[in-house]
Structure 1
Amino acid sequence: MAAPGAARPAPPLVDHHCHGVVRGELDAAAFEAYLTESDAPAAPGTSYFDTQLGFAVRRWCPPLLGLPPHCPPERYLARRRELGAAEVTRRLLRAAGITEFLVDTGLPGDLTGPRELAEAAGGTAREIVRLEHLAERIADTSRTTDSFLASLDGAVREAARTAAAFKSVAAYRHGLDLAPTPPAPAPLRAAADRWLTARATGDPGAARVADPVLLRHLLWAAVRTALPLQLHTGFGDPDLRLDRCDPLLLTDFVRAVRPTGCRLVLLHGYPYHRGAAYLAAVFPHVYADVGLALTHTGARAGAVLAEVLELAPFGKVLFSTDAHGLPELYVVGARLFLEALDTTSARWVRDGAWCAADAERVAALVAADNARRVYGRGGTVADGT
């Protein structure tokens, strides 16, 4: 423990859920689009810099580019253009303090893959395979329903050979109120046939897999590999219905998965993060994530983290940034997490609720050790496609 009044050295960070960053230059509108989960511009006369996340970017990132904290957005973006995207990405990723990245490669766009991200950051990376994206790729090349189902199951098994984990966005595609058990063969084949037929006719609504029977099949295909399964819960962009993303809706699925030993990681959670913490408290194979929520709550991140730590065992909470598109989001995610953890635990130490040694031990658990235990250790892998 550091001496009284001295800054504690930051623990190493394992970012167990993140995405690539944009390779090219961004104009002001494109940059701001990554500061919100909305799919619309800011209200007339305003900016998405005027949010908790926007203020956090202006607090933490300008000094890393040679500017004072809280400098005007226009000055910050001008400095960004002056340095160039590659240099900005290198500076910010290396300043974030993250040594290992687990990268969800299922998002579209010209984004860095795991290897490229790790090289820019000076760390290591592994891939998280998004189940729905995998199914859509298989559907693009399948001629029949039988070949689709066989190829899909084979692709999941093959991905499990190198991936760190699987991830599902069933919360976006249907909601978490899914039947908890694997679908029977007949309804599964019927659902696959309906989807492939709709895709073949050019139905734009069939571009993505959204049938609850197919989503259940994907979840259970991942469970059978014994790799960890990440599940989006809580808030996101307007593509989801927030009321159907409460992690407590997964309770029966959690119970059904328990005998398999598959570890379930509940991502994000907010504003249902206390429900995620409860599931992590009562089920041995469930873990809770604090990513995304801390980034978007900014100056209130400490309150959100404290609510997660009210009930979740300290060995069941994992750090992530859920950074996407902007290297700034890695910096903000890491700094807000470390500040929230330090100020919250310091308060509890002052109050006598925790001792200083335990505070340091919990910090190491949440920052990195829990993720290494859940996902194992691994080096950089080839970029996902």
Structure 2
Amino acid sequence: MAGPQFAPSAGALALVDHHCHSVVAAELADDALAGLLTESDRPPAPGCSPFDSALGLAVRRWCPPVLGLPAHAPAADYLARRRELGAAEATARLLTAAGLDTCLVDTGLTAAAGLPLLPLGELAEAAGASVREVVRLETVAERVTAGAEDWPRAVAEALAEAAGGAVAVKSVLAYRHGLAAPAERPARSAVVAAAGARLRGGPERLTDPVLLHHLLWTAVDVCAELGLPLQLHTGFGDPDLTLHRADPALLADFVRAAEPSGVPLVLLHCYPYHRQAAWLAQAFPTVHTDLGLTASYTGPQVAAVLGEMLELAPFGKLLFSTDAYGLPELFLVGTCQFRYGLGALLDRWQADSACSAADAERLTRLIAADNARRLYAL
């Protein structure tokens, strides 16, 4: 059965977006705006537009009515109306319509399309939502300038300080080297040697596997001390990522080794490895997962992909997020796609007598907000 066509903000279910980024407040050129509708950082191929995609269709489905246009308005009409309203008004309308209760914002990204992102306070005001910070692990480590011998201690202290007011720490290890993290902590001598090599002229961006794996274990220690979850990017992303190295199943040895710490590990995005992520969440008590931006990018297939994840993922382990970045449209699309997709899936389950209406309502509230509230102690 098809899910409902609804007014996004009318009586909407409260949602906790447990992983997202801030948005650009300034006016965006049409090409720059369209460029934020793809994970690619390259210009589109000749004759192609990011609007001609499942995500583009979702934007044109959910966003035009909020700006006073009919659903599925042509992209050119939508962009013209957005310019007519101005960036501030369009941003406020789109964020408010998303109907978010709380946003947990990764502050590791500070710009999109070359323009600054809204500070957290201004994002909270525009969205009408509570906003909390997620600290990006590698960004903190790259700011540490201590000598090689002091680097391990200095990194741990910097992370503890940065995460003191945060609700989670996030790693982008998948981008930097891949998720095949060994179960053993790197030897201190190897960490010091790698830190020395980096300080002698290595890349500013942290890519050395010894340092990255040491940093991951440092995050486990700090998160255990502060009672915070550790988020990990998995699955698809921009061309900086090598996709097969972002398969969350590669984390299995690390998950086993980190399990005694009790630190919750939250697998973000996951697609096309969402079934592997669901298995990890079922097999290991510390592992949780989400679909993130996958719900937006898969457009009409969102219910099918959610169904594939819920084949194995425990209902108390799946969390809602948008992973919205740069565009307020992505907050609205993420929330609408989630509500629509999960509604369509659970309508079908009820029609097949796979669950009751009470089961469907409880499952929806768990994934939409209650799992995140419990996990992040909100």
* TM-score, L = length of structure 2: 0.94
> Shift in Å at residue 178 of structure 1?
2.0
Which residue pairs with 1:156 in the alignment? 159
Is residue 184 of structure 1 aligned with residue 187 of structure 2?
yes
Q: Distance in 1 between matches of 2:129 and 2:146?
A: 41
Q: Aligned partners of 1:192 and 1:115: how far apart in 2?
A: 36
8 Å Cα contact 1:128/1:164 also seen in 2: yes
Residue in structure 2 matched with residue 170 of structure 1 by the alignment: 173
Question: Which residue of structure 2 lines up, in the alignment, with residue 353 of structure 1?
Answer: 354
Counterpart position of 2:371: 370
Look up the match of 2:294.
293
**Mapped contact 1:22–1:112 kept (Cα < 8 A):** yes
Q: Does 1:276 align with 2:286?
A: no
Is contact 1:127-1:165 (8 Å) kept?
A: yes
Q: For 1:275 and 1:9, locate their aligned partners in 2 and report how far apart those are by CA, in whole Å.
A: 35
Deviation at 1:13? 0.3
Q: Distance in 1 between matches of 2:316 and 2:244?
A: 28
1:36 aligned residue (29, 35, 38): 38
Name the residue aligned to 1:381.
none
Coordinate RMSD, CA, aligned: 1.5
SS in 2 for 1:250: helix
Kept after mapping to 1: 8 A contact 2:281/2:289: yes
Verify: 1:54 aligned to 2:60, yes or no. no
| CA shift digits 1:43-93 (9 cap, x unpaired) | 212211000000100110011001111111111111111111111111111
Aligned counterpart, 2:243: 242
CA distance in structure 2 between the aligned counterparts of 1:178 and 1:197, rounded to whole angstroms:
25
CA distance in 2, matches of 1:258, 1:147: 28
* Deviation, structure 1 residue 173: 0.4
- Is the Cα–Cα contact under 8 Å of residues 234 and 268 in structure 2 kept in the other structure? yes
Match of 2:97 in 1: 95
Aligned with 2:206: secondary structure? coil
**Does the 8 A contact of 2:152 with 2:191 survive in 1?**
no
Compared CA separation, residues 237 and 289, structure 1 to 2 (3 A): same
Question: Offset of 1:292 from its aligned partner?
Answer: 1.0
1:112 aligns with 2:124: no
Question: C-alpha displacement at 1:147, in angstroms?
Answer: 4.0
Whether the aligned pair in 2 keeps the contact of 1:52 and 1:299 (CA below 8 Å) is yes
Report the AA paired with residue 116 of structure 1.
Answer: E
CA distance in 1, matches of 2:312, 2:237: 24
Cα deviation for residue 150 of structure 1 reads: 2.9
User: Match of 1:302, SS?
Assistant: helix
The residue type equivalent to 1:273 in the other structure is H
Query: 1:117 deviation in Å?
Result: 1.1
Overall identity of the aligned pairs, in %: 58
CA contact (8 A) 1:101 1:114 kept: no
Deviation at 1:9, TM superposition (A): 5.0
When residues 111 and 6 of structure 1 are mapped into structure 2, their CA distance, relative to the original with a 3 A threshold, is closer
What is the CA distance between 1:181 and its match in structure 2? 2.3
Counterpart selection for 2:18 from 16, 22, 39: 16
Shift of 1:144: 2.0
CA contact (8 A) 2:136 2:169 kept: yes
User: Partner of 2:212 in structure 1?
Assistant: 215
Once the two structures are superposed, residues 298-350 of structure 1 have per-residue CA deviations (whole angstroms, 9 ceiling, x without a partner) of 11111100001000000000000000000000000000000010010011011
**Aligned position for 1:137:** 143
* Aligned equivalents of 1:345, 1:167: Cα separation in 2: 31
CA distance in 2, matches of 1:87, 1:6: 24
Q: Deviations over 1:175-194 (max 9, x none)?
A: 01121222111001011111
Letter in 2 for 1:345: L
CA distance in 2, matches of 1:180, 1:292: 29
Long gaps (5+) in structure 2: none
Tell me the SS of whatever aligns to 2:373. helix
**How many angstroms does 1:151 deviate by?**
2.3
> Are 1:302 and 1:340, in contact at CA under 8 Å, matched by a contact in 2?
yes
Q: How many residues align structurally? A: 364
Contact 1:115/1:124 (8 A) holds in 2: no
Q: Write the distance in 2 (CA, Å) between the matches of 1:32 and 1:146.
A: 46
User: How far is 1:159 from its partner?
Assistant: 2.0
- The CA distance in 1 between the partners of 2:306 and 2:154, in whole Å, is 41
Q: For residue 382 of structure 1, what is the aligned residue in structure 2?
A: none
Residue 255 of structure 1 aligns to a residue whose secondary structure is helix
- Residues in 1 aligned to 2:209 and 2:215: alpha-carbon distance in whole angstroms: 10
